[in-house]
Amino acid sequence: MPEVSITLKPDGRIIKARAGENLKEVLRRAGIKMDSPCGGCGTCGKCRVKITSRAHPPKEEEIKLIPARELKEGVRLACLYQVASDVEVEVLFKDEGARVLERGIMGGLTIAPPVKKRRFFLRNAANARSLEEQLTLAVGRPLDQNCRPEILRSIARGLPEEGTAVIRNERIVGIEEGDTTGKLYGAALDIGTTTVVLSLVNMLSGKEEAVVSALNPQKEFGQDVLSRISHAQKGEPFLAELQKSIVDCVNSLLEKAAQKTGIDKKDIYEMAVAANTTMTHLFLGINPESIGSAPYTPVLAGGIDVKAFDLGIWISPFGRIYCLPAISGYVGGDIVAGILASQIYEEDGAALLVDIGTNGEIVLFDGREMVACSCAAGPALEGGNISCGMKAADGAVEEVRIGEDVFIRTIGDDKPKGVCGSGIVDLVAELLKIGFVEPSGKMVSPAKAQQIAGPNLAARLVEKEGSTAFVIAYGHEPQDDVFITSRDIRQVQLAKGAIWAGIRALLEKKGISLKDVRRVYVAGAFGAHLRPESLSRIGMIAGEWTERLTFAGNTSIAGATLCLFSGAKRKEAENIASRVRYLELSTLEGFDGLFARSLRFPEGDRPWKEDSGS
């Protein structure tokens, strides 16, 4: 294939490619990262570029996703564009970051870390026959057999007169010169599909020294786990690419936390990781292919303890990483961490843990045992697949009130740029309340809106992207408006319907009524910025639960922190994973009908009650 040149505007950088190559892949190879929620399938419309030289005619998918004015200006989707000749390209996507939830409720923190230090003096073992015996006598502990060869190699040239032994599970795993007993740090890590959070803590005092976060860089391979599984299925180099991406991210966060605190990374000896099942596999470099199709079986059973060095994580040379166990292919270590942090199994009566994201995971405790399920909520509740949807970043509408006019609040109090998950739920709830959206999900006509409300609100119902839309915030030009369409509301219906159907399926399986649920924990960033009444208004939770709701925050990082500090908590996590019963909704008799009924929004001014659920 002949070589072609891609000139990036406005900086003039030139990238070489082969004719016929996919433009998104060429840009990614050159280090230019773009959001690709659909995994490069041409359905999300996020990877927009402007071809400033002559552009190919737009494809059918591009005509659906890109306004006609922009198509005329040469805007195309990089994932659908094949480079045929020399071309000039302007990348339109700008990653503006996102607000990341970094903390969550945490019950029962015990400071009893599996790693500790012991100062030693060689004179205590002067009569020993070997350097190994001198060391074990001086420390009063044997060598860890898994680390013995490395320790013996390190002491071959002699032992320090005074030193510090690093001890894990009462075995020596390494030695350091001088007294380093005051330097013992660990890191708890939450690897989410969308975000990664790291908490750096003092293992001696329990103090959190720093918390840092980033967007998961694997998003360039797709926003959801199935897209990333598909990428890994292509072969070993593609799996390695995914693993390197997340390992580099973790190392970057460690460096950021170290710079923030002045702590040396070599003084970090332990990490505990909570992640969904696919993210755990990818972090460890294990192909998650088996999770991608029925019966959705993970490769890994139980938690796993590995050397940090083996994963390329740059902490202490004696550092180890513990990954929390998963319950199933789609209920992972992050949910085990959430159960551990919320302690729903200690509730006096029935309790729910609902983690809302692209996948919704639900755990029900019936007073005796726990049962869990996973439902494909889709990206709508995180701002994905929504016309003006965006991450929870500055300028995102996060709160909506509708009275005589529309009142909004944006993150950072910036000019409205789009709407994030909490804003979307708030908005749909308000439109339902004023009658602009019917229980079926259909948006009313402008004529009917005039009858329901005043002309000010009715004027906000317009035609956008071939669909009826409600304008949330006006821009200087119509193309700058922030709005929601009928198609967007359908996406919200699908998401909330999946979660409500999952909740109802678990309740029916255990024979528990809505009124018998004593406590509902909503975990994750989505729930942290929501009003309970908005959740009940759209029918994602029962109306009687609004007073029993606890927004639990990032329970994944909280549960990982508990396991970081305590070997007993790790055993508890393993016990939770083994005893939670998993319910596969796709094989449940009658679930399709339950899901269909769950799509409908609650009638009138009344949220779900017992007789209007399923």
State the pLDDT at residue 614.
44
Q: Given a cut of 60, is residue 104 above it in pLDDT?
A: no
> What is the pLDDT at residue 38?
65
Cβ atoms of 185 and 319 closer than 8 Å: no
With H, G, I as helix, E, B as strand and everything else as coil, classify residue 410. strand
53-82 burial string, b = 16+ CB within 10 Å, else e?
A: eebeebeeebeebbeeebbeebbbbbbbbe
CA distances, 288 to each of 52, 233, 280, 325, 366 (Å) = 40, 8, 9, 15, 32
At a CB cut-off of 8 Å and minimum separation 6, what does 114 contact? 168, 169, 270, 567, 570
Instruction: Give burial (CB, 10 Å; 0-12/13-18/19+) of 16.
Output: exposed
Q: Which range is most confident: 49-63, 272-286, 370-384?
A: 272-286
- Note whether 431 and 470 are within 8 A (CB): yes
pTM (two decimals): 0.81
Q: What are the tens digits of pLDDT across the range 448-467?
A: 888 888 788 888 888 877 78
Overall residue count recorded for the chain in this entry: 614
Tokens 């994750």, residue located: 524
In CATH, which of 3.20.20.10, 3.40.50.2300, 3.10.20.30, 3.40.1000.10 is domain 3-91?
3.10.20.30
Angstrom distances, CA of residue 426 to CA of 123, 423, 526, 538, 578: 70, 5, 12, 9, 38
Give tens-digit pLDDT for 113-170.
Answer: 999 999 998 876 667 788 898 889 888 999 999 999 999 998 888 888 899 999 998 9
pLDDT at 98 over 50: no
Q: Compute φ and ψ for 495, nearest 5 degrees.
A: -70, -50
Going from N- to C-terminal start, the domains of the chain cover: 3-91, 115-177, 345-379+498-554+562-612, 380-491
Angle 527-304-251 (CA atoms, 0-180°, nearest 5)? 65
CATH architecture of 345-379+498-554+562-612: 2-Layer Sandwich (3.30)
Q: Give the separation between CA 381 and CA 493, rounded to whole angstroms.
A: 10
pLDDT of residue 613: 46
How many Å apart are CA 129 and CA 107, to the nearest integer?
A: 49
Bigger pLDDT: 435 or 63? 435
pLDDT of residue 36: 64
Q: Identical fold at 3-91 and 345-379+498-554+562-612? A: no
pLDDT band at 348 (very low <50, low <70, confident <90, very high): confident
